[in-house]
Structure 1
């Protein structure tokens, strides 16, 4: 991997640590880049109505990473949420109707990129500015788990149509979750469909299916009675996935049993975008006051003292790459912050809608 590609990898995962200023970013309203407003009526047969209420969000001290701590009370309003992750077929219908191009399909704008880089950074060659995305490319031998660049690669030409890069396709995978979707791409689809992205609080409430303080969506055991209830990584991460759950990559939506609310793949398969900016939970004062947070929408910008300059939104639920050895986020409380313009082959989304 060349120095520039390596820097891009670091930029995508960690954001840019500018020395002089924090670059504020606000997503464009989807109508400005679609050129239209949604005229669709939501097909509520594809959604589940979630009756609002108060629940315990987050995780216990001993059971999860600090970003999900602590347990705290949250109230959400009534809402609708998609039964499954948005599929390749659904996203293809959107693209056919609008002509939309995802960020992974657009050439890199050097004039914009250089504002995020140290002054004097030389312009890379044209090949390095071509469209692409991040693809899981594991080695076939044991490695240290401290360096994720050993299993992620920037692949020119990788996008939602070509998930593994040039030569791959989604033919025959119409019912798989669409991936290589950046935050803006998910928002654009949601607006066109007459929906929106769920908040983190809504997403976790729906994922729990009414179960309070359980480690996993189905209880406190990862594989009760040796049964796999979600698509995650088994074996030696990242080089040997045994596929005991039936899949070594993503699975068609609804391949595993639904939760108590009738929602599929809220755990594992692919990470899912939420509308909230990412905030390291232990720094959220609402979590620690003993009060109920009323339908929280997230902070007004990213807040993470360990990475103060990147612009991240919350992703939830884990993916087919979550392993007991690494990133064990196959649980309702599982969460990460992903850079807003990052598309990867384990990030997708589902949509929500207000009760009308």
Structure 2
């Protein structure tokens, strides 16, 4: 595989690209191709990426470039690694401010030398631009994502869907990944040492974490890293969509960055073309939906608002594909893509097969103008369970979802979403014929049943049956440090996921003798105690309380016609 040029060669190539034979700067004349790949004065090449208007550096910022910045800027930085690096290795030990300072310096330097003008600049990529670079559908598609797109975005890796990674996929902590061949580097590797993406970008997976920053630059206590590093090995940390939120002032031997090149004129041109394409596509969809008479005016109006810039591209299901819910025990997919199945054989009510996801919860927050004040500090991907909300929040979500689906005529006027009752939750988890007059009396009454129905001589959950604190359950493993995608474990007999782990779940019932407290069922990613993992185990908390391991799932009740 071709390696990047040495620092001296790179500098010569960069200067050659910027000067013509007469020694004049090669500012592109008006009318020149704005999509031509850029080469910086430091020799870094940039590539066009579908779904974004900026050009991405094909590799992480190298130590050679960083040292030139330190030399010219006299920037105060004295970080030392505990391992050796050549000039072609990525710089590490930079915090968010350091990375921004480098981009600003490079912009100022090239403007002073008339290599770029005032409408052009170098900066860090935004998290959304990084989504485009790594190939996520949410970063590259112009119109609403399908349910399959959304699911794949939460599961795919920069190299594809395989786990463990294929040989020479990236620079990881290879000794920690079962089945992954040694990549040849104990620490960082020279940039460009591994297989590039289709657009020619190197090391979007592994080597070093890369800083990203929103376009609206402001003082911020934390920053978002993407891509993994030479020290990482857990599968969930290496997915393409993983966001690692860390303090903005953190310097570490696993953290570096890459730049993007932003040309405002090119951006304006591409956005105008993209808007025209979106409008045409939405007009075609609206016409097809109206002609087919498969949806009511509400869905058409939603598309019209999207065309006018009043909606959002949230990846919701195509309304034309949805069938209204009926109380005959049929499964049902609602406007958010949540799938419901009958709790009792061929009869209502219906229960959601998954815990309410971050994506669905955030749709409610946006629509109602609320803030997620108790959002957990660890990363929550869109397909992970929402956690850190009160019982009252969960009830408000159900009321909002009821009104939303009634208006669109996906559920009848008599139907409503709600939280499951304590007894309904037991049935959903496979525990039937419980004895006891109330949740307190039923608590731990059955000492044999677990949601994953293990072998009689072993209570421990089989592989892929629940996301628990496996580090404290001898002989048990899982792939998640915190929550897992809501449908990553095996489904139970009803097809329901994570009835025994991931997040504990609010139920509708008040706790006996404590009218302000509500019942909580099921284990979570923090659970490990044998008795606490029994299906019959209950806990309770104030309905205003919130925890990082507590979420909910919905029931669709058809009520009285």
TM-score normalised by length of structure 1: 0.50
Mark the structure with the bigger radius of gyration.
Answer: 2
Q: Give the helix-richer structure, 1 or 2.
A: 2
Pick 1 or 2: higher relative contact order, CA cutoff 8 A, min separation 6: 1
